[in-house]
Chains A and B, each alone.
Chain A
Amino acid sequence: GNSVTQMEGPVTLSEEAFLTINCTYTATGYPSLFWYVQYPGEGLQLLLKATKADDKGSNKGFEATYRKETTSFHLEKGSVQVSDSAVYFCALSDLNSGGSNYKLTFGKGTLLTVNP
C-alpha cells in the first residue's frame, strides 16, 4: 500500500535558522500531498498542499515542492520562529482499503523545537 516516510526528529533549531523536514512517499497513481502542523494539545491544521508534480505549496513562510522524480515533498522555511515549535506531519491522499473513498495516509510526525 501507499506510505509516507518523514524524518522523525526531534529537530531543535535556534530562532532564524533554516528548516528542512524531509518527506518521501510511496504511491501508485498521482496522490495529492500535504503538510499538517499540530501545536501542543491541539488538532491538526492544514499548512500547505500540492496536487500535482512540480506544484509548490506555500503558507506562512513554509514551502514544499511536489517532486515526482524523487517521490519527495520536503518542507522548508528560511527563518524559523519560536512560535513554529510544533509537530509536523506529511500526508498523501489515498484510497481506503475498500477502494471506495479517499483517506489521508500520514507520516509519523516530526517534532520541531525552536529556541530563542
Chain B
Amino acid sequence: SQTIHQWPATLVQPVGSPLSLECTVEGTSNPNLYWYRQAAGRGLQLLFYSVGIGQISSEVPQNLSASRPQDRQFILSSKKLLLSDSGFYLCAWRRDPSSYEQYFGPGTRLTVT
C-alpha cells in the first residue's frame, strides 16, 4: 500500500533562517506531487507541483522553492524565512492520470519567530 511521509512534524525557526521540509512517498512510482500551505484561516493554498524528477511548477510567487531530486521525494525550501511563512505545510500525491483525488501527508507545523 502507498504511504506518504513528511518531516519534521513541527519546526520553530527564526526569521532569516533557511528551511528544508521533506516529503517522501512509498509504494508507488512516478506520482504527481504537491505542496500546499494552510494558514490560520484553514484554507489551502497550492504552492508547487511536480509531475516528475526535476520538474517543478509554481502556482504562486513565494519566498519558497521546491525540488524533486528523486522520483518519490519532494523538498520545500527557503533561503531566508519570513514571519508570513508560518503555517501548516502539507504534501500530497496523485496516484494516476485517470483519477484526480490527492492523498495527503501528516503535515509539518512551521512557526517562524
- State the A residues within 8 Å of B (CB): 31-32, 34, 36, 41-46, 49, 87, 89, 93, 96-98, 100-104, 106-109, 111
**Do B57 and A101 touch across chains, with their CB atoms under 8 A apart?**
yes
Once the chains bind, are A49 and B49 in contact (CB under 8 Å)?
Answer: no
Q: Which residues of A contact B49 (CB under 8 A)?
A: 96, 101, 103
Is there contact, CB below 8 Å, between A43 and B90?
Answer: yes
Docked-complex contact B106 and A49, CB < 8 angstroms: no
Question: Given A87-B42, A106-B43, do A101 and B51 touch, yes or no (CB 8 Å)?
Answer: yes
Kindly state the separation between the CA atoms of A49 and B100 in the bound complex, as whole angstroms.
Answer: 10
Give CA–CA (A102, B104) in the complex, Å. Answer: 16
Distance A77 CA – B51 CA, assembled complex (angstroms) = 36
Which 10 pairs of residues, A with B, have the shortest CB-CB distance?
Answer: A93-B100, A43-B104, A109-B42, A44-B104, A108-B43, A106-B44, A43-B107, A32-B100, A43-B106, A102-B100
Contacts of B100 in A (CB 8 A): 31-32, 93, 102, 104
Chain B contacts with A in 1-53, Cβ cutoff 8 A: 6, 32, 34, 41-44, 46, 49, 51
Given A46-B101, A101-B57, the answer on whether A89 and B107 have CB atoms closer than 8 Å is no
The answer to whether B57 touches A96 (Cβ under 8 A) is yes
In the complex, which of the residues A34, A87, A96, A108 contacts B101, with contact meaning CB atoms closer than 8 Å?
A: A34
Q: Once bound together, how far apart are the Cα atoms of A31 and B42, in whole Å?
A: 23
Q: Report 21 cross-chain contacts, Cβ distance below 8 Å, ordered by A residue.
A: A32-B101, A36-B104, A41-B109, A43-B6, A43-B90, A43-B105, A44-B44, A44-B104, A46-B101, A89-B44, A96-B57, A97-B59, A101-B57, A103-B34, A103-B59, A104-B100, A104-B101, A106-B43, A108-B41, A109-B42, A111-B42
